[in-house]
Structure 1
Amino acid sequence: MTGRDERTLQFIYTLRSKGVTDTRVLTAMERIDRAHFIRGTFSDRAYDDMPLPISCGQTISQPSIVGLMTQTLNIGPRDTVLEVGTGSGYQAAILSQLARRVYTIDRYRRLAEAAEARFRELDLHNITVFTGDGSFGLPAQAPFDRILVTAAAEDPPGPLLAQLRMGGIMVVPVGQSDTVQTLIKVTRTDQGFDYDELSPVRFVPLIEGLGQD
């Protein structure tokens, strides 16, 4: 068994121990090597269950949180997914293994372009990358079956709720500070929106406008 095989087995074991039990999600996370999305000083920590810094003051999320958020979305093979906050591109790559089409948007052009290059390298052709203010979503591509927000908002953003298809699910961290945040599952129903609190988390804040690269 090679070193990577051993690390991958440990990686999947850790995900299971943290509550990621959906076989499709685990298979996707085994297929997409996190090491492709981490460069430089922290590359040797790619298989650790911890967030790591990337460019533009952002982070690549903790793998178990990526797994739990993805699992909560319950993505079907015909679903169209919007991700707000491309970052390194790791989360979008996982989503691409489960959905028909993934749209991902980031306020930092440098991050969006780097992620797009990684997707090309990995032959992930069902991801479309945008640079823009993710808090407003992508109205031209709406509605979406699933929406995943990888930055914390004070409340689930209204424009994103409006772009969620009936019966659709959005997962978003909500909190007024970077120390007190809760992961929320929002389901759109005929009567409005149902909200379920999932777990405490810690994400960078969702900021309006474009970032300065």
Structure 2
Amino acid sequence: MNFDITRRRMVETQIIGRGITDRRVIDAMLKVPRNIFVEEAMAAQAYSDSSLPIGEKQTISQPYMVALMSEMLQLTGREKVLELGTGSGYQTAILAELSNRVYTVERIRSLALRARKALDRLHYLNVNLKIGDGTDGWAAEAPFDAIIVTAGAPDVPAHLVDQLALGGRLVIPVGNQLDQTLVRVTKEKDGTITCQESVPCRFVKLIGKYGWSGEE
């Protein structure tokens, strides 16, 4: 299977075709091989218009959602970015293309190790990955110019907003356990907080101290 062709078709139909205009995001989606971040048995489905299972009841997000969340962060290449929920590592790789440094947290050890292997294979040396409760953020490395949460949260954790730099953006799905809305929170230069809602979405649960419990 020619993944270069299917990746280009994915970008043309699913990304550009749905209104993504940020050229840097488009170029990153064209470059990063999504098939590297799924099980070999599912490689043929890597560029389909859907999320895919990656084990441990987790998923790799739909390509359009990855592109949209990345575009909402408004990255220029100079930023320090925090990602909560490494998962497969695909969104991490896109962020690595779009920013200066990525700090990513994954609570499930097996997924973190697999993601690290895929990121190393593609030589993303600007990614720091740790295993732990992502809902805590990464206070020791704060402030961040951008924070992205790749799981659905019951609300916007205030301490994550605290970890934003002035002018920083936080993109997070907020809602109940089945349906959420994508939200961008901006900490303005004067410290005031503004929120903007985007599209309806459905993510796996954000599990941890400041998210949902694993039993819910």
Range into which the TM-score falls when normalised by the shorter chain: over 0.9
What is the aligned length? 209
**Equivalent residue letter for 1:8:** R
**1:55 Cα deviation from its structure 2 partner:** 1.6
**1:73 Cα deviation from its structure 2 partner:** 0.3
Q: Deviations over 1:98-129 (max 9, x none)?
A: 10000000111111111111111111100010
Gaps of 5+ in 1: none
**1:54 Cα deviation from its structure 2 partner:** 0.7
Gaps of 5+ in 2: none
Question: Residue 145 of structure 1 aligns with which residue?
Answer: 145
Question: Residue 61 of structure 2 aligns with which residue?
Answer: 61
Cα RMSD, aligned residues only: 1.5
**Residues of 1 paired with 2:59 and 2:126: CA distance?**
23
TM norm structure 1: 0.94
| Seq. identity, % | 44
Question: Residue 186 of structure 1 aligns with which residue?
Answer: 185
8 Å Cα contact 1:135-1:159 kept in structure 2 = no
The reply to whether residue 71 of structure 1 matches residue 71 of structure 2 is: yes
**Residues of 2 paired with 1:30 and 1:206: CA distance?**
28
Question: Residue 207 of structure 1 aligns with which residue?
Answer: 207
The reply to whether residue 159 of structure 1 matches residue 159 of structure 2 is: yes
**Residues of 2 paired with 1:30 and 1:114: CA distance?**
22
Q: Secondary structure at the match of 2:98?
A: coil
**1:49 Cα deviation from its structure 2 partner:** 1.5
Q: Secondary structure at the match of 2:56?
A: helix
8 Å Cα contact 1:19-1:68 kept in structure 2 = no
**Residues of 2 paired with 1:96 and 1:130: CA distance?**
16
Q: What are the residue-to-residue correspondences of 1:76-91 with 2, within 5 Å? A: 76-91=76-91
Q: What are the residue-to-residue correspondences of 1:24-43 with 2, within 5 Å? A: 24-43=24-43
8 Å Cα contact 2:166-2:191 kept in structure 1 = no
Give the 3 Å change call, closer, same or farther, for CA 79–191 of structure 1 in structure 2: closer
**Residues of 2 paired with 1:199 and 1:13: CA distance?**
20
8 Å Cα contact 1:146-1:170 kept in structure 2 = yes
Question: Residue 4 of structure 1 aligns with which residue?
Answer: 3
Tell me which stretches of 4 or more aligned residues in structure 1 moved more than 6 Å: none
Q: Secondary structure at the match of 1:54?
A: strand
**1:42 Cα deviation from its structure 2 partner:** 2.1
**1:161 Cα deviation from its structure 2 partner:** 0.8
